[in-house]
């Protein structure tokens, strides 16, 4: 099992049901690069990987001659070369994945930004000033959503509960679909960015969405507006976002996803001003991990019995 940062993978499911057939090994440190992965995984027949933290291109799969079963959390993974897996006789399976944890983290970041929670808490604990920020109001403010799918629509419902005016835009979003979610369809991406007090990204990463929010788009936002991204880092131009934060072009950003993960110690995102950042916690919850690892056990049992389940793609 890869990237067991918290050391909980073996406790999140009942692995004893397969202990007579497999040896369970959890790797807590992230393996950087194909060379390290090939060396570390060469002796394993089964690999469990979390989300899209680790890419499995054909070149890596070819270097893992013992690999027979690759299990990814979630039922969609864009960094696995399925054709190469099939060519090398590797079965790929997925697991359930809830959209609720990223919705909740989105609101944790948005509320933290709006009310200066980190700054005020840090000052209070360090003996600093008693109140130094003036919070931004959610009620009556406009929440603009880039994407109104499984996660974006849930974020919208929370915004409506706060009394926000919620609008959304994506390349395929229709007025009818927006109305079903109780929100307005923005006239364009540019109008949504220019008119929103809070902007939250909830799009899948693809050729049409990579770099969707760049310097020109960030320049459209109000200087009092906030940007939240719990989706994929590459949807927002990272250099343009850093520039906007350093120059105070926007009030702040809440970010859970990065171009490099884990972030190197000297990465500029670690010290950027006006940034509330978390280490890709969007899907990290007890219920999600119980589903990931519980169904990973089921997948292994089914594979060993000759009847794989939840096959990808």
Tens of pLDDT, residues 116-169: 999 999 999 999 999 999 999 999 999 999 999 999 999 999 999 999 999 999
Over residues 209-251, the pLDDT tens digits come to: 999 999 999 999 999 999 999 999 999 999 999 999 999 999 9
CB neighbourhood size of 16 (10 A): 9
**What is the pLDDT, as a whole number, of residue 22?**
97
48-81 pLDDT, tens per residue? 999 899 999 999 999 999 999 999 999 999 999 9
Catalytic center residues: 232, 261, 280
Q: What is the pLDDT of residues 84-126, one digit of tens each?
A: 999 999 999 999 999 999 999 999 999 999 999 999 999 999 9
pTM comes to 0.94
Cβ atoms within 10 A of the Cβ of 32, count? 12
pLDDT of the residue at 121: 98
CA distance 15 to 18: 6
How confident is the model over 258-276, as a mean pLDDT?
A: 96
Annotate the chain with DSSP letters as a single string: ----TTS-GGGSS-GGGGTTT-------SPPPHHHHHHHHHTT-SEEEE-TTSS-B-HHHHTT-TT--EEEESSS--TTB-HHHHHHTT-EEE-----SHHHHHHHHHHHHHHHTTHHHHHHHHHTT--S----PPP-TTPEEEEE--STTHHHHHHHHHHTT-EEEEE-TT--HHHHHHTT-EEPS-HHHHHHH-SEEEE----STTTTT-B-HHHHHHS-TT-EEEE-S-GGGB-HHHHHHHHHTTSSSEEEE---SSSSPPTT-GGGT-TTEEE-SS-TT-SHHHHHHHHHHHHHHHHHHHTT---SB--
Q: Find out whether 232 and 256 touch, Cβ atoms under 8 Å.
A: no
pLDDT value for 205: 93
Q: What is the per-residue pLDDT across 8-55, written as a single tens digit (0 to 9) for each?
A: 999 999 999 999 999 999 999 999 999 999 999 999 999 999 989 999
pLDDT over 70, % of the chain: 100
Three-state SS letters, 145-207: EECCCCCHHHHHHHHHHCCCEEEEECCCCCHHHHHHCCCEECCCHHHHHHHCCEEEECCCCCC
Tell me: the pLDDT tens digits for 161-171?
Answer: 999 999 999 99
Q: Considering the chain, what is the average pLDDT of its residues? A: 97
Residue 112 token pair:
């933290």
């Amino acid at each position: 099992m890869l990237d067991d940062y918290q050391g909980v993978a073996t406790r999140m499911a009942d692995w004893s049901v397969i202990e007579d057939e497999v040896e369970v090994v959890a790797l807590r440190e992230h393996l950087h690069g194909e060379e390290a992965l090939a060396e570390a995984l060469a002796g394993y027949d089964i690999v469990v990987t979390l989300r899209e933290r680790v890419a499995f291109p054909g070149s890596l799969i070819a270097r893992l001659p013992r690999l027979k079963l690759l299990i990814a959390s979630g039922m969609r993974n864009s960094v696995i070369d399925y054709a190469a897996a099939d060519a090398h006789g590797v079965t790929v399976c997925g697991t359930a994945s809830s959209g609720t944890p990223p919705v909740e983290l989105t609101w944790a970041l948005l509320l933290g930004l709006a009310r200066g929670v980190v700054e005020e808490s840090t000052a209070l604990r360090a003996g600093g000033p008693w109140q130094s920020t003036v919070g931004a109001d959610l009620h009556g403010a406009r929440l603009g959503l880039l994407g109104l799918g499984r996660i974006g629509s849930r974020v919208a419902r929370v915004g409506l509960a706060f009394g926000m005016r919620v609008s959304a835009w994506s390349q395929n979003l229709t007025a009818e679909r927006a109305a079903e979610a109780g929100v307005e369809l923005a006239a364009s991406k540019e109008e949504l960015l220019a008119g929103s007090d809070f902007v939250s990204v909830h799009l899948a990463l693809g050729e049409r969405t990579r770099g969707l929010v760049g310097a020109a788009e960030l320049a459209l936002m109000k200087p009092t507006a906030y940007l939240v991204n719990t989706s994929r880092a590459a949807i927002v131009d990272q250099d343009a976002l850093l520039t906007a934060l350093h120059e105070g072009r926007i009030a702040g950003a809440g970010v859970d996803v990065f171009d490099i993960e884990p972030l190197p110690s000297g990465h500029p995102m670690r010290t950027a001003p006006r940034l509330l950042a978390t280490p890709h916690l969007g899907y990290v919850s007890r219920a999600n991990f119980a589903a990931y690892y519980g169904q990973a056990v089921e997948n292994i049992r089914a594979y060993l019995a000759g009847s794989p389940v939840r096959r990808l793609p």
